[in-house]
Amino acid sequence: MANYYDIDDILAEEELVPTVFQHGANGVGLFDSSDDADKVEAGSRAELPFWLVRELYLRQLVSIRVPPCFDRESKTREEIAADAAHVDLRSRSPYFYELGCKIALLIRDRTIGPFLLVAFQTRYRDVLVKAHALTLTMTPKYLTLLTNEETKLYEAGQSSIAAFKKWRMGGPRFQVAPVLGRKRKLT
């Protein structure tokens, strides 16, 4: 509930997290649509959005299986360690860092924090160089690799450089207020 009005924070909590039910529950068959019994057996697995998982987890109704992209022996970790800049994190989760933070704090996994930091440190450098160097035509291909956070960072860098270049080239010196463009009404 850190940023109640932040749409990205809200969307990050929509990400699905794999969980295991610790108790059976009636009337919530929609979580586990394998049969018509309209109930969830203890021990069954389901992917639930994070905001729901947090509440259930704090009540000890479910246990969390760390999503594959944060898991200790996952392929993602190996890829990040090898060459973080070219890992497609967006396909893992568009809110990779935010979700990672939230999960790490919830289940108190001490390895996720440093892992996220290392990932961002190496990728940050690449974002920086590309934001300041790439021309607009080349961007779409690169942007597909970035998470939401990184995309925003990239765009922040890119747009300020573009604005500066436009100013230096001498764009329109004066902007006509929209009021002035209108023709005077005949009275």
Residues that bind another protein (CB under 8 A): 20, 22, 42-43, 60, 63, 97, 101, 104-105, 107-108, 110, 112-114, 116-117, 120-122, 124-125, 128-129, 131-132, 149, 152-153, 155-157, 159-161, 163-164, 166-168, 170, 175
User: Dihedrals φ, ψ of 41, to 5°?
Assistant: -75, 155
Looking at the Cβ atoms of 34 and 164, the one nearer to another protein is 164
Q: How far is the CB of 149 from another protein (least distance, A)?
A: 6
The single-letter DSSP state of residue 38 is -
Exposure string over 137-174, b if 16+ CB within 10 A, otherwise e: eeeeebeebbbbbbbebbeebbeeeeeeeeeeeeeeee
Q: How far is the CB of 122 from another protein (least distance, A)?
A: 7
Hey, is 49 helix, strand or coil? strand
**Partners of 45 in beta bridges:** 20
Alpha-carbon radius of gyration of the chain:
23
Q: How far is the CB of 185 from another protein (least distance, A)?
A: 26
Looking at the Cβ atoms of 167 and 184, the one nearer to another protein is 167
Looking at the Cβ atoms of 175 and 187, the one nearer to another protein is 175
Q: How far is the CB of 25 from another protein (least distance, A)?
A: 13
Distance CA 116, CA 98 (A): 10
Looking at the Cβ atoms of 33 and 60, the one nearer to another protein is 60
Q: Which long-range contacts (CB under 8 A, 24 or more apart) does 56-60 make?
A: 56/19, 57/19, 57/106, 57/107, 60/22
Q: How far is the CB of 120 from another protein (least distance, A)?
A: 6
Looking at the Cβ atoms of 122 and 139, the one nearer to another protein is 122
